[in-house]
């Protein structure tokens, strides 16, 4: 089954980024529930900013699930990266991501490693950076496995990182790990930049896809750009994808309209 989710950011430093709802977690849950979303995806400043009991109460009250937990605040707020040349900073990055893995596991929700993959200073540094990234994903994937969760790795476009950009390369990278609980995130906005064909890349990657970020070609809510969503959904169904289409998109022109547009497009595609 393909389900709907919508992003909620509680990180002031990320304001203006691709998140539908901002700041007020309960108001976001109320809107998501009223519009008919199945779940929220949470982008929190840290694992300690939201109490497990508080979130559990909100999800229960508004009949929602937690689709995933983002770790990007590690980079945006704390400037932490899993490939930082400084070993102590890499350790802090792993601890930060690990705390969010543990937080998400209370709800059966995976954590996403995207911007925290960082970037390398020069092409010559790339092999070492990828080795550090591999070690980090192995360690964090094992933690997720111990918690009964998945870990999701997100390839990010060339303007945001120079490590792993395409979903095909990302899938190959996670498949080379010793773990089976690490999947890849198909972010349709990033894919629009990096892939020659979204649907062909989805078919090539297949079962490695563990989560989908649902945004249009211009990162506005689905339905406001030129992405051929029927072809994307057909490819996802062909590979047997069962998971979320999670709206990581700009709150354009505002949060409520963006959410309403997203769920309208979702319902047109998923019947």
Catalytic residue among 41, 102, 194, 248: 248
Q: What is the tens place of the pLDDT at every residue in 183-209? A: 999 999 999 999 999 999 999 999 999
Report CA-CA distances (Å) from 34 to 1, 37, 39, 95: 21, 8, 12, 36
Query: Can you tell me the mean pLDDT for 14-40?
Result: 96
Query: Can you tell me the mean pLDDT for 7-27?
Result: 95
> Please, which pLDDT band fits residue 172 given cuts at 50, 70 and 90?
very high
Which among 191, 150, 189 is positioned nearest to 170, based on CA atoms? 191
Please give the domain boundaries of the chain with CATH numbers for all domains. 2-269 (3.20.20.150)
Catalytic residue among 41, 154, 194, 199: 154
C-beta separation of 268 from 232 below 8 A: no
Q: What is the tens place of the pLDDT at every residue in 75-90? A: 999 999 999 999 999 9
> Please, which pLDDT band fits residue 167 given cuts at 50, 70 and 90?
very high
Active site residue 49: no
pTM: 0.96
> Please, which pLDDT band fits residue 36 given cuts at 50, 70 and 90?
very high
| % of the chain with per-residue pLDDT over 90 | 98
Q: Is the pLDDT score of 247 beyond 80?
A: yes
Q: Is the pLDDT score of 166 beyond 80?
A: yes
> Please, which pLDDT band fits residue 27 given cuts at 50, 70 and 90?
very high
Start-to-end C-alpha separation, the chain: 10
For residue 270, the model assigns a pLDDT of 96
> Please, which pLDDT band fits residue 223 given cuts at 50, 70 and 90?
very high
Q: Which two tokens stand for residue 133?
A: 């990234």
> Please, which pLDDT band fits residue 253 given cuts at 50, 70 and 90?
very high
Query: Can you tell me the mean pLDDT for 95-123?
Result: 97
Q: Is the pLDDT score of 133 beyond 90?
A: yes
For residue 237, the model assigns a pLDDT of 97
Q: Which two tokens stand for residue 63?
A: 């009949």
For residue 164, the model assigns a pLDDT of 97
For residue 170, the model assigns a pLDDT of 97
Active site residue 154: yes
How far, in Å, CA of 227 to CA of 198, rounded? 9
> Please, which pLDDT band fits residue 271 given cuts at 50, 70 and 90?
confident
C-beta separation of 68 from 111 below 8 A: yes
């Amino acid at each position: 089954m393909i389900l709907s989710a919508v992003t909620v950011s509680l990180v002031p430093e990320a304001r203006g980024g691709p998140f539908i709802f901002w700041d007020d977690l309960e108001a976001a849950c109320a809107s998501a529930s009223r519009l008919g979303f199945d779940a929220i995806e949470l982008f929190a400043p840290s694992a300690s900013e939201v109490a497990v009991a508080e979130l559990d109460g909100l999800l229960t009250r508004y009949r929602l699930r937690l689709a995933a937990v983002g770790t990007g605040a590690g980079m945006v707020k704390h400037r932490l990266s899993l490939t930082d040349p400084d070993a102590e900073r890499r350790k802090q990055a792993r601890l930060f991501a690990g705390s969010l893995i543990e937080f998400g596991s209370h709800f059966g929700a995976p954590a996403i490693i995207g911007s925290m993959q960082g970037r390398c200073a020069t092409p010559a540094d790339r092999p070492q950076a990828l080795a550090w990234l591999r070690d980090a994903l192995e360690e964090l994937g094992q933690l997720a496995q111990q918690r009964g969760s998945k870990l999701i790795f997100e390839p990010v476009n060339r303007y945001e990182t120079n490590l792993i950009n395409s979903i095909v390369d990302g899938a190959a990278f996670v498949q080379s790990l010793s773990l089976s609980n690490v999947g890849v995130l198909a972010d349709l906005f990033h894919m629009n930049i990096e892939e020659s064909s979204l649907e062909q890349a989805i078919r090539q990657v297949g079962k490695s896809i563990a989560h989908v970020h649902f945004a249009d070609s211009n990162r506005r809510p689905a339905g406001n750009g030129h992405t051929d969503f029927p072809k994307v959904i057909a490819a996802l169904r062909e590979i047997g994808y069962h998971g979320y289409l999670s709206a990581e998109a700009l709150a354009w022109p505002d949060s409520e309209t963006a959410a309403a547009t997203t769920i309208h497009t979702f319902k047109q595609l998923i019947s």
